[in-house]
Every structure is written in structure tokens, then in C-alpha cells.
Amino acid sequence: MSERTISRDTVFEGRVFTVESDRVRLPHGPEAVMDVIRHPASVVLLPMPDPEHIFLVRQYRYAIDGWMWELPAGSVDPGETPEEAATRECHEEIGHIPAQLNRLGAFYPTPGYCDELMVFFKLTGLRVPDHTAEPDEDEDIETKVFSLAEAHQLVQSGGAPDMKTALGLTLL
């Protein structure tokens, strides 16, 4: 048996996510308040120009006040499939279009308080398209190709302290 929602209040609506405070009835009887971040699904890309190399992006992350190397990723837009989002994000973030998308899995990074589902894709057959994509206006991204060994070392040494990158590399 699961919790049953009694009431729901939207506490905050932002550009990227919404925060809701739900009053629920617990399976064993009492009521409780559950705060939940509502976030659209996202895609995490493992773009591989060849079997031994992978693109990573370096960008500033305001929430942690620092730059980090990580796998390219982005939200799935309304009406978009995860596959379409993966292709779009690959074009926007690394300037390539994949010929093949292989879904590696889908995971909730923080299910205790957030409903975001991250869908991981291995992207191969990368090509540079005839036109460039417009990057998101709030992103300043550097791209670099790493060997898989270098990418794993970067995670292990703390140079890529990002959960989705650490997990994504284990899926290959």
C-alpha cells in the first residue's frame, strides 16, 4: 500500500522545476507532509566518436559555484521523446548528430524528494551537421574528447564530481 494524497499546494514554480507540498495519508494511518520537486525527465548522453573515446563538456554550475567536466545532458521538452531530446542536446552541446542511439537505462537520481527520471543514451555514428545549433542562452560549454580511461580517471580523481557522469561511464 502507498501514501494517498489528501491535498497538494504548489510552493514554487520556476523555469526548470516546481516544488509541491503534499499532505498524504500514510499506509499505517497518520498524515504527513511530503515536499516534492517536480522536474521534467532528462537525457544523459554518452557520445562516442569511436569505441574508445567519449565527449565530455565542461561548464560552470551555479549551484555549486564551480566548473566541472560531465556528460552532456538536458531536459526533455514538452511533446518531445527522450530520443528526440538526446539528438537535440547532442547537436546543441557538442555540435554533432548521432546516427545511432542506444538506450542504456533510466534512473531516478534523488527519488526521496524529486521525480526527475534520467534516461541514459550511448550515441554513435556522430557527424557534424550542415548547420550549427543555437546553444541555450544560459550555457557556456567547452567540449573535449577523452579516452574512456581518461574519463574514468577524471571521475576517480574528483575532476568530474558529477553523479550522472560516474553512473553513465559504468553503463558502457
CATH of 42-170, one of 3.40.50.720, 3.20.20.80, 2.60.120.10, 3.90.79.10: 3.90.79.10
pLDDT digits (tens, 9 = 90+) for 110-164: 999 999 999 999 999 999 988 876 766 777 899 999 999 999 999 999 999 999 9
**What b/e string do you get for 108-142 counting C-beta neighbours within 10 Å, with b at 16 or more?**
eeeeeebebbbbbbbbbebeeeeeebeeeeeeeee
pLDDT of residue 131: 80
Structure pTM? Answer: 0.93
Alpha carbons 122 and 125: distance in angstroms, whole number: 10
Mean pLDDT of 76-91: 98
pLDDT of residue 157: 96
Residue boundaries of the structural domains of the chain: 4-38, 42-170
